[in-house]
Amino acid sequence: MKLIKETPYCKVWKAVNGDVFGFNGQFFKYLVVDTRNGGETALRTNSVLQAMAWEPKFTPEEIMSRFLLLLIEEFSLKNTDFNRKRIIEVEVSNWNVYAKSFNRPEFLITEKFHFRQDLANRFAEIYEAL
């Protein structure tokens, strides 16, 4: 077996030297393993394009929680940039787009923030509510 693709969420293996992956009497050249779900087999195929194109499906809660964790980390760092108000407004706007696109109006942010840590605390509250 030869590893031909590795991402944080999956690994794609290719059978080499005449070996194949067998399952229920069928044989395949490529095996995709979903490492996000503990290494379970996600796909068996003979198509390299199909194997390389496979990506895991994320729930809206997973997508929102990953985005929130990045924002919490970013705004928890002490930063004295002179343009922080604009950055805060942009990230609040970006978050509201996420909340609307996943039909979660209870997570919309309508208040104004002047300090990065206050916004990080608000994002942490939303993360806990998810």
Cβ atoms of residues 130 and 124 within 8 Å: no
Q: What local confidence, expressed as pLDDT, does residue 79 receive?
A: 61
Write down the domain spans for the chain: 2-53, 60-129
Pairing verdict, β 2-6 and 30-34: unpaired
Q: What local confidence, expressed as pLDDT, does residue 114 receive?
A: 80
Q: What is the mean pLDDT of residues 112-129?
A: 87
Q: What local confidence, expressed as pLDDT, does residue 97 receive?
A: 92
Judged against a pLDDT cut of 60, whether residue 48 lies above it is answered with yes
Q: pLDDT (tens digit, 9 = 90+) per residue, 54-108?
A: 888 888 888 899 889 888 888 877 665 555 778 888 889 999 998 999 898 999 9
Q: What local confidence, expressed as pLDDT, does residue 118 receive?
A: 85
Judged against a pLDDT cut of 80, whether residue 9 lies above it is answered with yes
